[in-house]
Amino acid sequence: MSNQTAIVTGANSGMGLATTIELARQGYRVIMACRSEKRGQEALQEAVRQSGSSAIELMLCDLGSLESIRQFARTFRERHDRLDVLVNNAGVVMVKRKETSDGFEQSIGINHLGHFLLTLLLIEPLKAAKQGRVVNVSSGAYKAGKIHFEDPHLHKGYNPIKSYAQSKLANVLFTRALASKLSGTSVTVNCLHPGAVGTSIGVDRNTGFGTRIMAFAGKLPFFLSPEEGARTAVYLATSPEVVGLTGRYFYQQKEQQLKAHAVDDASAERFWTWSEEQVGLRDDEKL
């Protein structure tokens, strides 16, 4: 396993850090994709300490910046020919509507569009692996989600639940569409609901607003620990039980049936085309 390489986004805290530690324990070389140099370095030291592995590396990547994502992918491809596992874990919930540096509403911009571009820029290294795996951290919130094609960036009638649920449905639609487009290759794509996890997802990424609230929530008995929340992501990244399975949705390491609106292929294809346009995907980058 020591020659297998994994990338985990949002790896500096919560489930991302827990996933990093467990993959490193299992012998993977793990690249922690983090937005903040300071928080990333602190998390790197913690990951090395807890895993006992020195094969962990920090690379900066701001999923709210298309330029940063492109730079990350370029640097990764210069250093590595192969990518065995990509865990698209990073996520935000925004109490108030805010935009990324590219003018995207932050939840759809970071939770979906950032990971959409990152994944497509890493398809060749994933194909070069014996069995490349893409693991998308979605949420049961997808059930309440709708793609608001008339206003996907929610300029009107914004609320956090509407925004987050749309972005989590986006993760599922992306998973199924990408799995279909990669049919016949060695790359699999699956998504998961981690459960109710007490993490920093509800914390404003710029101001830190919500830190104390989420710290309190994480101590409530019905919240899972980040380690518990990461189990299904690690399972999809590593288990021989899911070799060859693709386009599926999991909870507690078991496949779950998706609701009808999440298996609408026409909607998924329309959303894929919109996503390509939003991130400015070049013809030679399209699948």
Q: Is 164 tagged catalytic?
A: yes
Write phi, then psi, for 246 (nearest 5 degrees). Answer: -150, 150
The dihedral sign for the CA sequence 107, 112, 113, 114: positive
State the distance between the two ends of the chain, measured CA to CA, in whole angstroms: 29
Given the residues 28, 142, 158, 164, the one annotated as active site: 164
Q: Is the pLDDT of residue 95 over 50?
A: yes
What CA–CA distance (Å, rounded) separates 268 from 189?
A: 15
- Residue 217, pLDDT score: 41
By the 8 A CB rule, do 187 and 134 touch? yes
By the 8 A CB rule, do 279 and 117 touch? yes
User: Domains plus CATH for the chain?
Assistant: 5-194+228-285 (3.40.50.720)
Reported in sequence order, the residue ranges of 14-160 that DSSP labels E, i.e. its strands, are 29-34, 56-60, 85-88, 133-137
146-160, 219-233, 251-265, 273-287: segment of lowest average pLDDT: 219-233
Identity of the residue numbered 105: E
By the 8 A CB rule, do 6 and 51 touch? no
- Residue 195, pLDDT score: 86
3-class DSSP assignment, residue 106 = helix
By the 8 A CB rule, do 195 and 229 touch? yes
Token pair of 129, please? 């692996």
129-143, 144-158, 185-199: segment of lowest average pLDDT: 185-199
- Residue 17, pLDDT score: 96
Q: What is the DSSP string of 179-195?
A: HHHTTTSS-EEEEEE--
- Residue 222, pLDDT score: 52
pLDDT in tens, 180-226: 999 999 999 999 999 876 544 443 444 444 444 444 444 444 567 88
| pLDDT confidence tier of residue 3, bands split at 50, 70 and 90 | confident
Q: What percent of the chain has pLDDT over 90?
A: 86
- Residue 197, pLDDT score: 63
Token pair of 146, please? 């709708």
Rounded mean pLDDT, 104-116: 98
What CA–CA distance (Å, rounded) separates 1 from 273?
A: 37
Rounded mean pLDDT, 247-270: 98
Q: What percent of the chain has pLDDT over 70?
A: 90
18-27, 35-44, 162-171, 189-198: segment of lowest average pLDDT: 189-198
